């Protein structure tokens, strides 16, 4: 099986537009990206997915492609993708998407970008069914409302609820069969709202699997609450870890956590050699997924010669706060045989609390020796580690 997905994002969102100042729903910002990106991310979590076709409105195609390139910087999706222009009706957009599939593709999932909350598990369930030989398989959930057929505000009859299902996307198909069914649909002029309808009318059977209650389609203004409430949901916890070493020798007077350690050995360093603040900077960068201190402040640059590590920390921490992170706590350990650090710990802690605007119980400073073992035990140098936890809002 070689499966691609078509992500349909070429609608005009007319039912919602009054509530969004005309922004098409697939382009509404959610968790820092347009809504259609969420579906791409979920598909990328499924290892059997081989590629994606995005279908955008003709007039938005250049801008949406640029946005996609930025979002997929560093090949975040890990999947090849293509972009095509949609058509007037949903079924025309699917048809255009089908034309863009590579020849080696054998199966296809068709998905509405307006359903951003489907899971990778649902995707896998659909792929399992296709792999076992289903020609067409779609998610469906039992209907809980009583459904009646109404004409001119008057009820004609009531349907038997036990046989009714509300159908969702992604919908899975054998590619050749879906293309044949779409061709027939075009020849005979059918009007449909999903691909399963085309396949049914073309005479194929369609299997169902359990859909997801959370897999709602954002359609009407009231549905915006779904993205708003999820937007203001719990911040995400992130962790960072940092490690640094400095050699003892003629160089800079020892500083730890911004505090001059009088009587301590000198350290060899390009900056002021504050091993603890370097580990802390690296831990902050770790939380942000933003490389290490050497990348940001290269020791080959004269600009950073003897620079105060407090200044480096300020710069990294400013970026950290600007990007919406906030520290919950930090735990620091200094490892050295000499000097004896116990008397310095309270001062170091106080200074770090001040620099990071944290309370006493959010910062911990520990010191240990390595029992005369290794390079710290031989008094050749000093090392420090920093573990931090933060929330990304
Ligand atoms: N869609 C599409 N091309 C169209 C129409 C719809 O790709 N010509 C997509 C939409 O972007 C959406 C999905 O099909 O992801 C389901 O359609 P729907 O919920 O009806 O969205 P819209 O057509 O955009 O909204 P409305 O009907 O309110 O205009
Ligand atoms: Mg529509």
Measured from the Cα of 25, ligand 1's closest atom is 24
Q: Which residues pair with 112 in a beta bridge?
A: 8
Q: Which of the listed residues 36, 114, 198 should we mutate to test ligand 1's pocket, taking the one with most ligand atoms within 8 A of CB?
A: 114
Residue 187: the pLDDT is 97
Q: Is the separation of the CB atoms in 240 and 317 below 8 Å?
A: no
Q: Is the CB of 112 under 6 A from ligand 1?
A: yes
**Looking at the chain, which runs of residues are DSSP E strands?**
3-8, 29-30, 33-34, 49-56, 81-85, 107-112, 136-142, 148-151, 154-158, 165-167, 171-174, 207-210, 236-252, 255-256, 259-260, 267-268, 325-335, 363-368, 381-392
Mutation to probe ligand 1, out of 8, 10, 11 (largest number of atoms < 8 A from CB): 11
Ligand 1 lined by 86 (C-beta under 6 Å): yes
Report which of 210, 205, 227, 209 is spatially closest to residue 218, judged by C-alpha positions: 227
Q: Find out whether the beta carbon of 6 lies less than 6 Å from any atom of ligand 1.
A: no
- The 10s digit of each residue's pLDDT in 184-239 is 999 999 999 999 999 999 999 999 999 999 999 999 988 988 887 654 557 899 99
Token pair for 388: 């931090």
- Residue in 220, 227, 269, 229 with CA at minimum distance from that of residue 247: 269
Does ligand 1 lie within 6 Å of residue 11's CB atom? yes
CA 31 to centroid of ligand 1, rounded, Å = 21
What the chain holds in terms of domains, given with CATH numbers, is 3-232 (3.90.550.10), 236-392 (3.30.1330.50)
- Tens-place pLDDT, residues 110-119: 999 999 999 9
Model confidence pLDDT, tens digit, residues 241-268: 999 999 999 999 999 999 999 999 999 9
> Binding site for a divalent metal cation: what residues are annotated?
244, 246, 278
In tens, the pLDDT along 52-87 reads 999 999 999 999 999 999 999 878 888 999 999 999
- CA 372 to each of CA 243, 333, 335: distance values in angstroms, whole numbers, following the listed order: 20, 17, 11
* pLDDT tens-digit map of 315-348: 899 889 888 899 999 999 999 999 999 999 999 9
Collapsed DSSP state (helix, strand, coil) of residue 337 = coil
CB of 193 sitting under 6 A from ligand 1: no
Closest approach atom of ligand 1 to CA 16: 28
Residue 303: its pLDDT value, please? 82
């Amino acid at each position: 099986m070689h499966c691609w997905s078509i992500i349909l994002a070429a609608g005009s969102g007319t039912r919602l537009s009054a509530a969004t100042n005309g922004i098409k729903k697939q382009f509404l910002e959610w968790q820092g990206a347009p809504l259609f990106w969420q579906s791409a991310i979920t598909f990328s979590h499924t290892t059997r997915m081989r590629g994606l076709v995005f279908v955008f409105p003709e007039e938005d195609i250049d801008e949406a492609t640029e946005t996609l390139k930025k979002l997929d910087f560093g090949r975040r999706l890990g999947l090849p993708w293509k972009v095509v222009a949609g058509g007037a009706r949903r079924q025309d957009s699917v048809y255009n998407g089908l034309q863009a599939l590579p020849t080696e593709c054998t199966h296809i999932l068709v998905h509405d970008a307006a359903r951003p909350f489907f899971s990778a598990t649902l995707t896998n369930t659909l792929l399992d069914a296709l792999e076992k030989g289903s020609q067409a398989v779609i998610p469906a959930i039992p209907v809980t409302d009583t459904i009646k057929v109404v004409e001119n505000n008057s009820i004609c009859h009531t349907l038997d609820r036990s046989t009714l299902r509300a159908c969702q996307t992604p919908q899975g198909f054998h590619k050749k069969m879906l293309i044949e069914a779409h061709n027939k649909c075009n020849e005979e002029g059918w009007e449909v709202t999903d691909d399963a309808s085309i396949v049914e009318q073309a005479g194929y059977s369609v299997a169902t699997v359990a859909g997801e209650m959370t897999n709602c389609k954002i359609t009407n203004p009231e549905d915006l609450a779904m993205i708003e409430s999820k937007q203001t949901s719990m911040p995400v916890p992130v962790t960072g870890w940092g490690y640094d070493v400095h050699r003892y020798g003629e160089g800079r007077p020892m500083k730890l956590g911004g505090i001059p350690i009088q009587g301590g050995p000198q350290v060899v360093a390009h900056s002021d050699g504050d091993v603890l603040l370097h580990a802390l900077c690296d831990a902050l960068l770790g939380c942000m997924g933003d490389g290490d201190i050497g990348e940001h402040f290269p020791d080959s640059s004269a600009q950073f010669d003897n620079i105060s590590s407090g200044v480096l920390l300020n710069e990294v921490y400013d970026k950290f706060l600007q990007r919406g992170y906030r520290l919950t706590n930090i735990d620091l350990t200094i490892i050295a045989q000499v000097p004896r650090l116990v008397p310095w710990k309270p001062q170091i802690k106080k200074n770090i609390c001040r620099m990071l605007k944290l309370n006493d119980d959010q910062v911990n400073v520990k010191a240990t020796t390595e029992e005369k073992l290794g390079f710290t035990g031989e008094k050749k140098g000093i090392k420090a580690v920093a573990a931090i936890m933060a929330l990304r809002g």
